[in-house]
Structure 1
């Protein structure tokens, strides 16, 4: 009898296969602008970064890769974003719905028969949301690039489509060497990109909840309320931090007018939570801003979306747990609902293991390179959170350092959902309980 693969492991394996396929395609001479075969490490790093919708790169996407190579990269991060939204949503259904539906979905995911019932419905809805948003944003960007910057329709359409797909999937890839720095004063470019980042990164369950119950917030799920609350707080906090720390920095926001400072601080706050685009030189930011980005990048966006990180819901659940403990409450509550103990354990596990991966990655990069610790930490968190922002050291890391970043990107993208799902599916009630005792804490 054939052994059935665990659905979470199937997701991890499918992403691995996409990475291998992408590496092979990018090593073809047709993928490189000069017609030569790309080195395997360059192709592999780019493929991992694209499938894991990160955006870190060791070469300039716009000049190193041909149009075919850029198209391969776009397809890879489209697969990565769409695949993760669909897979995470389906795995969420498995652990939250009835046993009958859960068994049915497990069977369908494990046997790759994704054409029936809820599986097909979820996939269709994700597909509609994805392509509708991407096409609308691409049209807006194309018109702006043609009318305001004089690009011919072909170049404007390609640039608009590439950046729209990259933004919605929170991939951070750009065909410009300076990312979006050249558009730092153009709100008609940055605002559509920000909208795409937010829609893609908020998570499909939240989008579906808002679509069905937009006029009645009282009936939103607790997940939607916690995600929107956490997202709002992080966006405002990130905006205030960047504006405060960079307003006087002549290398970033200091030379801009106040409206431009507000626009770029808002863009930085949105992009920091796993999108990876930048409108200023991140290597010139103050260390205070880097520190603020550590937190924003580590938390990331919403569950079952295109964003990475340990997720907003995880962070909010932990904050609620801390507040309940400070108040002396036995339960943590939010919006008239009690948060389950299993959610607490899963959030703590994700946080601890995510932190451990960042510490381990930092130690390895410090060992194999001579870059300052703060730059190393920034790069490691950016890779794990699938953000793609960089202080400029990615291309200069030794092969061992670049391979470490690929491992962090893969684990950060696939590892958190695989871990969370495995924890829930493996949960079982023991037929006995040991006597309780309270070790000393603190």
Structure 2
């Protein structure tokens, strides 16, 4: 039975109902449309003469690329971010990053909340979909591995509080550190707020032309940036669970779900592994870590490992890395961070599920198990589809860019994966690139941010049920 909103005009009522019906029928498509509209809006704003320092209209390709990079919290750029944009343009980029960092489906649910004035079941389904991609499909859903529908309102509150609290704390720490580097009070306050936002959203834009080079030996500054990046990358469901543990320490075993455990273990194992590999591969490279002491080299190795997951900040020139280190970075960027986080990539839990499936197959057991819990096989299907969609996007974009530029494969693959994983590290390919390359990388960023599972669900209309089953036959695999 339709709900009548007292005092609302018939036109606005019909519009609200139409949007609500569309969101309920296809949450994935609704979220993609919302994100696309945001990109178009930010492109128009950045294309205005008032957005550039020269007060001239920014070319469409550069405005579009910057808009996608900001809203998709990537950090890649085709222009000098510190010289090209005016104060107005910097503010536009700042808010684009903040909105984009919330997440596609969470943003869609927030708009649904604004439209309906309350968080109903449909809005809850959309918001919950960002924490558990399995809800895009019919069938059993392992609710214990993510945030339950009844907890979505608490998750949204957690998102708002964590964004404000973590960025504010980082700003407070960074402000005096910037003062010690000779910044004025006004510049230090502005850059502290800017750096904290770019770190927590895993974007990687910097407010100065030298990036983090002036702070390369300020370990307090770099540690604050690194910790803020990691808090944004582990995911809002993890932050939500950890916050509940602080409030209810006696219920730790019940609150900390399998999703939280897998995310934390996989994230920090990859963080440690990346740091060790960077040190082993680059400690003899004089252009990166070779000129540093052992302690400095180890710190910079682990800092790069944290940034390679999605942070996008760097104290060294990425183009000077050995080919082996570029390949390690490719893998880390492709994996990314936690689900429903500001990080990109296929997500660490996806990789964990694939490894658990391989271990189960090697042991000859039917089900995947972790932390005394059984993981259903439909989770594996989602993980495989995420990896295949991601690999297809990266391969298609890489081939296209290679055909256009004729550049080396290692540099093209690096920047394409950085775009897909919304990381922001670059070998310099995007800067000054031709419009066709700019459009390909922009599309890669967009597809990487909205998530391959969201895209697949939107295109395939996976909610449809098949009322028949074909005969079974087993092909030879391996």
TM-score with structure 2 setting the length: 0.84
Distance in 2, matches of 1:393 and 1:107, equals: 36
Matches within 5 A, 1:158-237: 158-213=190-245, 215=249, 218-219=253-254, 220-237=256-273
Cα distance, 1:36 vs structure 2: 1.6
Aligned twin of 2:160: 127
- Structure 1 counterpart of 2:73: 53
1:283 to 284, 307, 319: 319
Displacement after TM superposition at 1:235 (Å): 0.2
Asked if 1 retains the 8 angstrom alpha-carbon contact of 2:32 and 2:104, the reply is no
Say whether the 8 Å CA contact 1:26–1:72 is kept in structure 2.
yes
Q: Matched residues in 1 for 2:301 and 2:194: separation?
A: 24
What is the rounded CA distance, in whole Å, between the counterparts of 2:310 and 2:126 in structure 1?
Answer: 32
1:103 positional shift: 5.0
| 8 Å Cα contact 2:414-2:426 kept in structure 1 | yes
In structure 1, the partner of 2:136 is none
Structure 2 matches for 1:278-317, cutoff 5 A? Answer: 278-317=314-353
Structure 1 contact 272–296 (Cα < 8 Å) conserved? yes
Q: Name the count of aligned residue pairs.
A: 427
Greater shift in the superposed pair: 212-221 or 331-340? 212-221
Give the Å deviation of 1:397: 2.3
Aligned counterparts of 1:267 and 1:382: Cα–Cα separation in 2: 17
Q: 2:282 aligns with which of 246, 258, 261?
A: 246
- Once residues 466 and 361 of structure 2 are traced to their aligned partners in structure 1, the CA distance between those partners, rounded to angstroms, is 26
Q: Evaluate the alpha carbon distance shift between residue 108 and residue 342 of structure 1 in structure 2; reply closer, same or farther with a 3 A threshold.
A: closer
Q: Structure 1 residues 187, 107: CA separation in 2 closer, same or farther (over 3 Å shift)?
A: closer
Distance 1:21 1:431, change over 3 A: closer
Measured after TM superposition, the shift of residue 415 of structure 1 is: 3.2
Contact 1:88-1:303 within 8 A present in 2 as well:
no
**Structure 2 contact 335–345 (Cα < 8 Å) conserved:** yes
Q: TM-score, normalised by structure 1?
A: 0.91
Counterpart in 1 of 2:436?
400
Which whole-Å CA distance do the structure 2 matches of 1:355 and 1:226 have between them? Answer: 22
Partner of 1:93: none
Partner of 1:157: 189
- Report Cα offsets for 1:387-428 as digits up to 9, x if no partner: 110011211322111100000000000033514766999367
Contact residue 159 and residue 236 of structure 2 kept, 8 A: yes
SS at match of 1:4: helix
| CA gap 1:129/1:387 in 2 versus in 1, 3 angstroms | same
Inter-partner Cα distance in structure 1 for 2:312 and 2:185 = 26
SS in 2 for 1:170: coil
Q: How does 1:40-79 map to 2 (within 5 A)?
A: 40-79=60-99
Alignment of 1:97-112 (within 5 A): 103=122, 105-106=124-125
Match in the other structure for 1:323: 359
CA contact (8 A) 1:346 1:420 kept: no
Distance 1:48 1:424 in 2: 24
- Flag the 1:108–1:296 CA change in 2: closer, same or farther, 3 A: closer
Q: Summarize the Cα distance change of 1:277–1:225 in structure 2 as closer, same or farther, 3 Å threshold.
A: same
Pick from 412, 415, 420: which aligns with 1:376?
A: 412
| Distance in 2, Cα, partners of 1:107 & 1:307 | 19
Flag the 1:108–1:83 CA change in 2: closer, same or farther, 3 A: closer
Q: Residues 318 and 425 of structure 2 are in contact (CA less than 8 Å); yes or no, is this contact kept in structure 1?
A: yes
Partner residue in 1 for 2:178: 145
Point out where structure 1 has 5 or more consecutive residues left out of the alignment.
91-100, 111-115
Cα drift, residue 89 of structure 1: 9.2
CA distance in 2, matches of 1:392, 1:274: 17
- Report SS of the residue matched to 2:310: coil
CA contact (8 A) 2:49 2:55 kept: yes
1:209, distance to aligned residue in structure 2 (A): 1.1
Match of 2:30 in 1: 10
What is the RMSD of the two structures over their aligned residues, measured on CA atoms? 2.6
Shift of the alpha carbon at 1:433?
A: 4.0
Contact (CA 8 Å) 2:447, 2:455: kept in 1 or not?
no
**Counterpart-to-counterpart distance in 2, 1:174 and 1:417:** 31
The alpha carbon displacement at 1:432 in A equals: 4.8
SS in structure 2 of the partner of residue 333 of structure 1: strand
